[in-house]
Amino acid sequence: MMQVASPSTLRKTLAVCGAWLVVGACGACSQGGDSSQPTATGGSTGGLGGATTTGGSATGQGGTGAIAGSAAGGTVGAGGSSGTSTYPNIGVCGDTGTATADATSFEGHQVRYIIGEEGFGSRICQVQFDLKRVGDAPPGCTVCDWAHLLEFSNPTILTDTDGVCAKSDLALDTAAITRIVGSRVALGFAAHLGGAHGSARMIYFEDKQVWDVAGNATWSETTKAFFFDDRQGYCNYGP
């Protein structure tokens, strides 16, 4: 990362100032109003890890955060401009998710994905997990409207063009996917973060023991519909 701003500041800038560009205009941001929820391909996304997770720095398969969405199977952006990947093709990696959620419940899905052709192509890898509440999240998310401790289960490969899920910086082969099952993540929702139009998904990072922004999000207090998307940057994949 460049030294102009800390990773935390950059993530917050993306989520707060750029949220409406990714998930829609400010009408999509909500807490206390209906929002128009974009549909996540195949369900939702794959931030796979969390408080006690596969992909976190303590138990990880590579990666530096506590979300498996950015950590499982390798650090996002390990290739691309850094040139450290062994895979020749550049894509964009991220995770997206949908759920029915409120202050006491959360049930949904999360999908880890790769978009081919430097992010201008289609999704060539999508691995979906069920994501359900199993307990209370760690305290400290003062900006959160609600937060939960969630667990990953029931993996489903939705798309795997030419085996790129495994043959990529994500390294989502069968063994890696299996290790994610049973891992947990503390996730919350922050409406109009910092007074901006954009709202954000919040994640508790176990390695730093802090809550931080992890993608744009929308939530309707009326319908309980929750959506998030987090395009995390360039990652490489093989032929």
Query: Tell me, what's the pLDDT at 239?
Result: 86
Q: Specify whether the CB–CB gap between 44 and 152 falls below 8 A.
A: no
Query: Tell me, what's the pLDDT at 85?
Result: 87
Task: Answer yes or no: is 1 within a domain.
Answer: no
Span 171-228, pLDDT tens digits: 999 999 999 999 999 999 999 988 777 899 999 999 999 999 999 999 999 999 999 9
In percent, the amount of the chain with pLDDT more than 90 equals 62
- pLDDT band for position 167 (cuts 50, 70, 90): very high
d(CA 192, CA 105): 21
Among 65-74, 103-112, 123-132, 215-224, whose mean pLDDT is lowest?
Answer: 65-74
| Phi, psi for residue 179 in degrees, rounded to 5 | -65, -25
Query: Tell me, what's the pLDDT at 170?
Result: 94
Non-local (6+) Cβ contacts of 82 within 8 A are none
Query: Tell me, what's the pLDDT at 84?
Result: 79
In percent, the amount of the chain with pLDDT more than 70 equals 65
Q: Stretch 108-127: mean pLDDT, rounded?
A: 97
Pick the more confident residue, 36 or 105: 105
**In the 8-state DSSP scheme, what is residue 138?**
P
Domain that includes residue 205, residue range: 7-191+200-237
Q: Stretch 98-104: mean pLDDT, rounded?
A: 98
Name the pTM for this structure.
Answer: 0.69
Pick the more confident residue, 64 or 116: 116
Query: Tell me, what's the pLDDT at 105?
Result: 98
Span 128-150, pLDDT tens digits: 999 999 999 999 999 999 999 99
d(CA 24, CA 20): 5
3-class SS at 68? helix
Span 27-37, pLDDT tens digits: 333 343 333 33
Going through 116-209 in order, the beta strands assigned E by DSSP cover 123-135, 146-160, 184-190, 199-205
Number of domains forming the structure of the chain: 1
3-class SS at 8? helix
Task: Answer yes or no: is 2 within a domain.
Answer: no
Count of CB atoms within 10 A of residue 18's CB? 13
Non-local (6+) Cβ contacts of 104 within 8 A are none
Q: What is the 3-state secondary structure (H, E, C) of 11-60?
A: HHHHHHHCHHHHHCCHHHCCCCCCCCCCCECCECECCCCCCCCCCCCCCC
Non-local (6+) Cβ contacts of 33 within 8 A are 220, 221, 222
pLDDT at 60 over 90: no
Residue with structure tokens 């990696």? 93
3-class SS at 150? strand
pLDDT averaged over every residue in the chain: 76
Q: Stretch 107-117: mean pLDDT, rounded?
A: 98
- pLDDT band for position 83 (cuts 50, 70, 90): low
Task: Answer yes or no: is 161 within a domain.
Answer: yes
Q: Which of 103, 69, 50, 74 is nearest to 209 (CA)?
A: 50
Task: Answer yes or no: is 58 within a domain.
Answer: yes
